Amino acid sequence: MTWQPFYVGDGAAPADPDRPVALPKAPPWREFPRRSLHEQFVPPPGLVEAVNAALALRRPLLVTGPAGSGKSTVIEQVAAELALGTVLRWHITSRSGLTEALYRYDALGRIHAQRLKGRGGDDDIAPFLRMGPLGTALLPTDRPRALLIDEIDKSDLDLPSDLLDVLERGEFEIPELARYETDVVAVREWQGDAHHDVERGRVQCTEFPFIVMTSNGERDFPAAFLRRCVRFTMPLPTPETLLRIVEAHMGARTARTPEADRLLTVFLERLTAGESLAVDQLLNAVHLLAGDGAPDENRRQAIEDLILRELSHA
């Protein structure tokens, strides 16, 4: 991009209110609605083999690495190449539980609807049920679904163990439907408005989903959980890998400028020294500093320090 101080800090409104300051076009990775960057993702050595092993064995792939290393983009690329459909996403927090990932049941909403309709009214449970991301991935299909379980190391200590039976058996029960008076209920899937018939509350996959679980390496997992996964640790990027990543996002013309080469070298040196940095920080720095009309030396250094700030502290 061409560097321009759009904001100058004087509080003055535009001279012509009908012609406000034109803001720059967003970099590709910050355009909304968000688009998949699977075409730009460059898998590190060994990742292709790990993905193929997970696909062949029908086992989840556990990818460990620092933030911004591309862990969650892996599944986008696999889903695109193998036509697995839209990626289902389950973002883990400390409050995440297995049941909510399998299905959601609005019990209070159903009670409220029953009161409004009164006795003898229609008591359809379907509008108050919805599959969760994991439950949707386990629905019977001709081809596997793709499911991202993001940042599983942020979960409650019990969640990995709770997952074991589901990952091993590929099935689960919805108790509210198991005791419901109607044998078959059409339940809405996690994304979109598609519905799937569930018989007597039982969901059984026919093709085990392709699951990628990401971890920042902030905790250990039980051995019983790890043995059910294919594990891969994202390695430190090489100069060649970083150059390919920058080229994929910005083109060779920008990636091979002297300033981009300098930023790449500084970034890799700091990573090798043990600093916590993300690849998207490098992309941000190249986007701001390696294009036409880059700022002068004093401002350039201030911007570089701002963008390439170490992540392990505020």
3-state secondary structure string across 273-302: CCCCCCHHHHHHHHHHHCCCCCCCHHHHHH
Domain boundary among 207, 233, 259: 233
- In a shared domain, residues 67 and 202: yes
Residue-wise pLDDT for 155-209, tens only, equals 999 999 999 999 999 999 999 999 999 999 999 999 888 999 999 999 999 999 9
pLDDT of res. 23: 83
Asked if residue 93 and residue 188 are part of one domain, the reply reads yes
Q: Is residue 128 part of a domain?
A: yes
Give DSSP secondary structure letters for the chain: -----S--SS-PPPSSTTSPPPPPPPPGGG-SS----TTT--PPTTHHHHHHHHHHHT--EEEE--TTSSTTHHHHHHHHHHT--SPEEEE--TT--HHHHHEEE-HHHHHHHHHHH-TTS----GGGEEE-HHHHHTS--SS--EEEEETGGGS-TTHHHHHHHHHHH-EEE-HHHHTSSSSEEEEE-SSSS-EEEEETTEEE-SS--EEEEEE-S-S---HHHHTTSEEEEPPPPPHHHHHHHHHHHH-HHHHTSHHHHHHHHHHHHHHHTT----HHHHHHHHHHHSSTTPPPHHHHHHHHHHHT--SS--
Q: Indicate whether 122 pLDDT > 80.
A: no
Q: Which of 189, 212, 233 is the last residue of a domain?
A: 233
Mean pLDDT of the chain: 90
Residue 13 has pLDDT above 90, yes or no: no
Q: Is residue 88 part of a domain?
A: yes
Neighbour order of strands in the sheet with 202-204 = 103-105, 129-131, 184-188, 195-199, 202-204, 171-173
186 and 276 in a single domain? The answer is no
The answer as to whether 139 is a domain residue is yes
Same domain, 128 and 147: yes
Domain match, 175 and 241 both: no
119 pLDDT tier (thresholds 50, 70, 90): low
Average pLDDT over residues 47-62: 97
Q: Which residues contact 138 (CB under 8 A, 6 or more apart)?
A: 102, 166, 170, 171, 172, 203, 204, 205, 209
pLDDT for the residue 34: 78
Same domain, residue pair 190 and 280:
no
146 within some domain: yes
Query: Do the beta carbons of residue 263 and residue 239 sit within 8 Å?
Result: no
Query: Of 181, 199, 233, which one is at a domain's C-terminal end?
Result: 233
Q: Are residues 153 and 52 in the same domain?
A: yes
Q: Are residues 224 and 244 in the same domain?
A: no
Which range (122-131, 228-237, 292-301) has the least confidence? 292-301
Structural domain that includes position 248: 237-307
**What's the pLDDT score for residue 17?**
78
**11 domain residue, yes or no:** no
Q: How many domains does the chain have?
A: 2
Q: How far is Cα 145 from Cα 151, in angstroms, rounded to an integer?
A: 19
Q: Are residues 204 and 284 in the same domain?
A: no
